[in-house]
Structure 1
């Protein structure tokens, strides 16, 4: 999961960023000013924006409202010490999807992030994708090679689709695990390696052909 954290308190910001990386394996960009948060959000792709309400250079509600007005469709979680009903209404009306009052436990923040990413904020993607000599059909979750249909399990299809969507990018095992199984699933990271092995076999591919590449100690990436 890729997260933008906008928090001007240096101690709290460092703690949250550290825990998101260490405990959940997320990729985190941390900024301390509102305008900086806007620039990062507008110029990159994040799964969730975590916006502090009170920041120099533009408060979280202003930044959220501005992004929504410009068509930003990603998930937004507001952090604030403001806890009245009217404050919550104001934050949600500004375009936030969820609201977490300080102080909070990191486990609750992680649970809220998982809940947000289970929703689909992304635009509908093209149904059929051609890559090498494969056709991936998202609507019916099938993969064809020429006239032959490749029988993939739902997990294998989701994993292949995730690699296709992020072609050329290295996906860590933690990110893959979070996106396909969920961090609270009762399986371990070795499941990813086993699923990759099965996926390669069904695709008629191998590690040597450079299609689905292993990045030692990190994860996997797909090359066209």
Structure 2
């Protein structure tokens, strides 16, 4: 899962980034509303954390712009005391939740999990399933047929993306944008390396799930046999 933080308080943005990465989320952070809009329009994020009062463009206007463009990415507002009316406006414009500052890391993570569940990207226990495999993105664990192994973060993110694509073909460009960010210098061979790692781990688990290459197009998950 990839999360965008749009927060002009640098220390808070850094703290949020640390918390989310510790919980195995990929994170980008920007510090004004205009940059936040540019990043959010890329379509690579699973959730946005938006401050309300920001330079260049406030969070309410940012959300309103995104929703008017058909961007349905879940949004959680970070609100301060005295911003209740703004928070209500944000919910009316399509925000999914809000969390009042100061907040605990436990509350933040619970609200993020709830917003992602409402989006329908995970089942109740935060486990993704395809064929005979079960992936826990939170714990970076892949299981099949009574065996389990640990993945690194990029492997987990890649397999998660392929599962969520629901047997649709995923291009190398889409993988790079999702896993490394749309302004990344990652190349196709980076994708190929992680595809190779995942294939070896699926084989180790004796899984019937395969990552097939559609030449010139991308990759797709399929169940063999």
**Range of TM-score over shorter length:** 0.5 to 0.7
Q: Which of 131, 155, 163 is the aligned partner of 2:134?
A: 155
Residue 60 (str. 1) matches residue 39 (str. 2): no
Which stretch of structure 1 is more off in the superposition, 162-171 or 81-90?
Answer: 162-171
**Structure 1 length-normalised TM:** 0.60
Per the alignment, residue 74 of structure 1 pairs with 73
Shift of 1:43: 1.9
Shift of 1:106: 1.1
Q: Which segments of 5 or more consecutive residues in structure 2 lack a partner in the other structure?
A: 122-128, 136-143, 145-158, 180-197
Mark the CA change 1:211 to 1:111 in structure 2 (over 3 Å): closer, same or farther.
same
String of CA shifts for 1:135-172, please: whole Å, max 9, x gaps. xxxxxx99xxxxxxxxx347389966347555543898
String of CA shifts for 1:17-66, please: whole Å, max 9, x gaps. 11111x21111110000000000011231100110001001110110011
Per the alignment, residue 124 of structure 2 pairs with none
Shift of 1:101: 0.5
Q: Secondary structure at the match of 2:12?
A: helix
Residue 39 (str. 1) matches residue 43 (str. 2): no
Runs of 4+ in 1 over 6 A off after TM superposition: 156-160, 192-195
Give yes or no for contact 1:75–1:121 (8 Å, CA) kept in 2: no
**Structure 2 length-normalised TM:** 0.60
Alignment root-mean-square deviation, CA: 3.7
Give yes or no for contact 1:83–1:101 (8 Å, CA) kept in 2: no
Q: Which segments of 5 or more consecutive residues in structure 1 lack a partner in the other structure?
A: 123-140, 143-151, 173-191, 213-220
Shift of 1:222: 5.3
Mark the CA change 1:91 to 1:201 in structure 2 (over 3 Å): closer, same or farther.
closer
Count the aligned residue pairs. 164
- Rg (Cα) greater in structure: 1
